Amino acid sequence: MKTYKILLTLVIVSGLVFFSCRHEILPEPPPSGGGGTGGGGTGSGKVCFESDVLPIFQSTCAKAGCHDAASHKEGYVLDNYANIIKKGLVPGKATSSELYKVLYKTGGDRMPEPPNPELTTAQKNIIGTWINEGAENTVNCGSNCDTTKFTFAANVNPILQNNCTGCHNASNAQGGVNLVGYSAVKVYADNGKLYGSIAHLAGYKPMPQGAAKLSDCNIRVIQKWIQAGALNN
Ligand code: HEC
């Protein structure tokens, strides 16, 4: 019986050692390909803080109960540039920055915390590449948003992912609204609420909540996609 207990303890201890030594997979973000998916991008081809990075932090981190000024979980407030660079960020070195590492953690250590969905690889890369490029406060970057391109997959969905789905996903559907995936978005394209909310039309709740209005170009891209039938293209 005693030997059995010792053996069992050994198995448990070696298991713990194995799992704690396991390295988390932390990819180096790719060099800048000329801006993010949200229609930003600086003239210099770098990721733009204002149009690419900030909306992701605002819509997925700076929420009530998480990292807005009132909640400041773990001391992190992630609502504007000055606050974002305060903690957990090593300019020039994404893989040493806690703000980047947590995106790739597993289980309850991951941010955004489950059951919120993981950021997409494109979003993780925007944050990582921006940090590697020096985590600068780049604003008024000019835009590579193009109103002649308005498909769901390449144009509309990335705008929603970067500005909306942090508050509007299946496990956190604020206002009862889920905007993850074509069929969920189509409902709000058809009932007028998607356009009404982003264009700040009277009678609709202005969105994104607590953040700047989308750029005129991004609003136009979504409007043209809706006017063309809100196709799954
Ligand atoms: C920080 C959280 C947050 C973000 C980011 C956000 N929303 Fe919302 N949204 C809410 C909340 C909360 C409500 C419910 C508001 C209410 O009922 O007063 C809501 C309501 C809505 C509604 C229903 C509006 C209506 O008039 O009935 C739509 C549509 C919507 N959001 C779309 C969007 C879109 C599109 C984006 C991105 C461009 C976005 N939201 C970003 C929190 C957010």
Ligand 1 atom with the shortest distance to the CA of 166: 5
Spatial distance between the Cα atoms of 75 and 221, rounded to a whole number of angstroms? 37
Token digits of residue 213: 């209005």
**Same-domain check for residues 128 and 158:** no
- Residue 227 CB contacts under 8 Å (≥ 6 apart), including other chains: none
Ligand 1 atom with the shortest distance to the CA of 159: 38
pLDDT in tens, 133-177: 999 999 988 777 899 999 999 999 999 999 999 999 998 899 999
Residue 137 lies in a domain: no
Distance from residue 179's CA to the centre of ligand 1 (Å): 10
Supply angle C-alpha 164, 170, 172, rounded to 5.
65
Name the pTM for this structure. 0.82
pLDDT in tens, 16-36: 545 554 556 799 999 986 444
pLDDT for 218 beyond 90: yes
Mean pLDDT of the chain: 88
**Protein residues whose CB sits closer than 6 Å to any atom of ligand 1:** 59, 63, 163-164, 166-168, 174-175, 177, 188, 193-194, 197-198, 204-205, 207-210, 214
Residue 213 lies in a domain: yes
Domain count, the chain: 2
Residue 219 domain boundaries: 152-227
Whole-number pLDDT of residue 12: 57
Which of 104, 132, 160 finishes a domain? 132
**Same-domain check for residues 181 and 221:** yes
Whole-number pLDDT of residue 8: 60
Whole-number pLDDT of residue 63: 86
Distance from residue 94's CA to the centre of ligand 1 (Å): 31
